Amino acid sequence: MTVHTDALHSAPHIICFSAKNHRGEVLVHALEEKEVFVSTTSACSSRAKLESSTLHAMGVPGNQATGAIRVSLSYENTKAEAEQFIYFLKDILQKINEVVK
């Protein structure tokens, strides 16, 4: 897992990361099945299917940029929801890794 969000120079409620050798869209759809909604793009470029120009400018390699996921939280999200997201993500990655072997 690689976190692309710079903690010092970014909005504190948004995190962007990628999982090595995993396509962002696959993770987005798997999380949707759990009713967890994340994105592979920023809100201002959600219709574009190109590599993120922001991640490119940050020096993120192309394979990581195309696999990046963006998670936005609000003041209404709870710690339990964050923990559930982490649980779902770990479970999804494990299942994908078992299939891909």
Instruction: Please choose, from the candidates 23, 13, 14, the residue with its C-alpha nearest in 3D space to the C-alpha of residue 68.
Output: 23
**How many distinct structural domains can be found in the chain?**
1
Q: What is the pLDDT of residues 33-69, one digit of tens each?
A: 999 999 987 655 555 555 677 777 777 777 788 888 9
* Whole-number pLDDT of residue 37: 95
CATH number for the domain harbouring residue 84: 3.90.1150.10
Q: What is this structure's pTM?
A: 0.80
How much is the pLDDT for 21? Answer: 85
* Domain of residue 78, residue span: 2-100
Point out which residues pair with 2 in neighbouring strands: 18
Q: Is 44 a catalytic residue?
A: yes
Q: Which residues of 30-40 are buried (b: 16+ CB within 10 A; e: fewer)?
A: bbeeeebebbb
Q: Which of 44, 57, 80, 99 is catalytic?
A: 44
Q: Look at residue 44 in the predicted model and tell me its pLDDT.
A: 53
Run of H or E residues at 90: helix 79-100
d(CA 42, CA 4): 13
